[in-house]
Amino acid sequence: MVYLKSIFYFILAGLLEIGGGYLVWVWLRDSKSWVYGLSGMVVLALYGFIPTLQPAHFGRVYAAYGGVFIVLSLLWGWKVDGIQPDKYDLIGAMLALIGVAIMMYWPRSG
């Protein structure tokens, strides 16, 4: 159950960070209403709280989160922006997830 909660927190953090960043992006780059920018900033602030729920130390959580962020960013680009990942994107994402699994979930002694 601890692993499932951890994975849920990684995915939630990623969606909040990418979603919040995207709202700020469209506000500034696409001249959308200030409501987009403010909403993005609120979502980004919420993102800041989620990693504190992870069952590991700060450095390890943020290092591992980088791999999750890679995968979620590719999925966001594919589903929202219509940019399909190529085989090299997929290989890189798979390697990043292997790194996440090793950093976060590999059994450690002591």
Which pLDDT score is estimated for 110? 64
Q: How far is CA 21 from CA 1, 56, 86, 90, in A?
A: 30, 25, 23, 23
Residue 22: name the closest of 51, 47, 50, 53 by CA.
47
The H-or-E segment that residue 63 falls in is helix 58-79
pTM of the full structure: 0.86
Cα–Cα dist 15/43, whole Å: 9
Mark the ranges of the chain whose per-residue pLDDT is less than 70: 110
Cα–Cα dist 33/77, whole Å: 22
Domain map of the chain by residue range?
2-105
